[in-house]
C-alpha cells in the first residue's frame, strides 16, 4: 500500500498526528497492517502502545500493555532532580515503581557518576525496564529488582535520591480518559482515594535514604495538601514543590525531618 493511502486511512481513524507518527515509523505498510492499526486507533489505543515506542527526556523507550507510557508530566520530576545536582560527586538513586525505567534512565544519562536500583512489583514491567536499560547502554549503572514499596530487599548502602511516580488515581475516578484503559491497572490506581502508595513510601523510605538525601515524587492534580500531610506526619519535611508545564502542582520534594 502506498504510504499516502495508509496515511489517509489512519488519519480518518485516529487523527492527523497519529497518522503521521505511525507512517513516519513504518515507511512501508501493508493493507492488512494499516487496517489493523486503524482498528486499534478507533478503539482508543494510544499510538505509543501501537508502535511500542515513546520518547521521554530525549530518550527512546520501548513500551507495551504492561507499562505506563512515559508522559511529559513526569519530565518535571526528572528536571527537578537534575537541577539539584550541582557537582560531580557520586550519587545513588532508588526508583520506586520503575515501569519502563524512564525516570531512572533519564537521570543516570544526565547526572555524572550516578547509578541506582529500579524496583517494581510487576515482573512484566521489570522485563520492559531491563530492555530499555540495556538498549540505552546503562546495564552497568542500573540494577533492577522485583520488590515493593514496603520491602526493597537488601542493599549495601543507602540512597542519595529516591524518586517515584507511584499509582495515584482513585478507583472510579471519573476524570480518567479512555487511553488509561490500555494501561496496567496496578500502575494507575491506589486505594484510600489514590493515596495508599504515598502512605507506604512515606512510612518506609526512611530506611533507604541517607540523612541528607532527597525524595522526589510525582503527584496527581489537587493531591498536594493530602500528600504533604502524609509525609510530614511520617517524619519528613517539605523542601519545595514543582509545577508542570500546565501550571499544575506535579512534584513534591522532601527531606528527612531533623529533630
Q: Where are the domains of the chain?
A: 3-43, 55-61+65-256
Contact 235, 206 (CB under 8 A): yes
| Rounded Cα–Cα distance for residues 68 and 63 (Å) | 7
Instruction: Read off the C-alpha cell for 66.
Output: 504492561
Instruction: Read off the C-alpha cell for 45.
Output: 489505543
> Per this entry, what is the length of the chain?
259
At residue 121, the pLDDT reads 95
Instruction: Read off the C-alpha cell for 234.
Output: 511520617
Mean of the pLDDT values across residues 245-257?
Answer: 96
Mean pLDDT across the chain: 93
Q: Is the pLDDT of residue 4 over 90?
A: no
At residue 3, the pLDDT reads 81
Place of cell 547502554: 137
Q: Which CATH code of 3.40.980.10, 3.90.1200.10, 3.30.70.260, 3.40.50.150 fits the domain covering 55-61+65-256?
A: 3.40.50.150
User: What are 155-211's pLDDT values in tens digits?
Assistant: 777 999 999 999 988 887 766 666 667 888 888 888 888 899 999 999 999 999 999
Q: Say which residues have a Cβ less than 8 Å from residue 175's Cβ, sequence separation at least 6.
A: none
User: What are 213-245's pLDDT values in tens digits?
Assistant: 999 999 999 999 999 999 999 999 999 999 999
Amino acid at each position: 500500500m502506498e504510504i499516502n493511502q495508509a496515511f489517509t486511512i489512519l488519519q480518518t481513524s485516529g487523527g492527523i498526528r497519529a497518522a503521521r507518527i505511525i507512517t513516519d515509523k513504518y515507511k512501508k505498510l501493508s493493507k492488512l497492517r494499516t487496517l489493523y492499526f486503524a482498528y486499534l486507533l478507533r478503539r482508543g489505543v494510544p499510538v505509543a502502545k501501537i508502535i511500542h515506542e515513546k520518547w521521554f527526556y530525549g530518550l527512546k523507550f520501548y513500551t507495551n500493555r504492561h507499562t505506563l507510557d512515559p508522559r511529559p508530566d513526569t519530565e518535571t520530576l526528572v528536571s527537578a532532580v537534575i537541577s539539584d545536582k550541582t557537582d560531580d560527586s557520586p550519587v545513588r538513586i532508588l526508583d520506586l515503581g520503575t515501569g519502563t525505567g524512564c525516570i531512572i534512565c533519564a537521570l543516570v544519562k544526565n547526572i555524572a557518576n550516578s547509578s541506582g536500583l529500579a524496583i517494581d512489583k510487576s515482573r512484566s514491567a521489570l522485563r520492559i525496564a531491563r530492555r530499555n536499560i540495556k538498549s540505552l547502554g546503562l546495564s552497568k549503572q542500573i540494577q533492577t529488582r522485583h520488590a515493593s514499596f514496603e520491602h526493597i530487599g537488601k542493599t549495601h548502602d543507602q540512597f542519595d535520591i529516591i524518586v517515584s511516580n507511584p499509582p495515584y488515581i482513585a478507583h472510579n475516578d471519573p476524570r480518567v480518559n479512555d487511553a488509561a484503559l490500555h494501561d496496567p491497572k496496578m500502575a494507575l490506581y491506589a486505594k484510600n482515594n489514590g493515596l495508599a502508595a504515598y502512605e507506604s513510601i512515606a512510612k518506609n523510605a526512611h530506611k533507604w535514604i541517607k540523612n541528607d538525601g532527597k525524595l522526589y515524587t510525582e503527584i496527581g492534580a489537587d493531591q498536594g495538601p493530602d500528600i504533604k500531610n502524609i509525609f510530614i506526619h511520617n517524619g519528613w519535611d517539605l523542601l519545595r514543590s514543582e509545577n508542570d508545564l500546565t501550571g499544575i502542582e506535579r512534584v513534591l520534594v522532601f527531606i528527612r525531618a531533623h529533630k
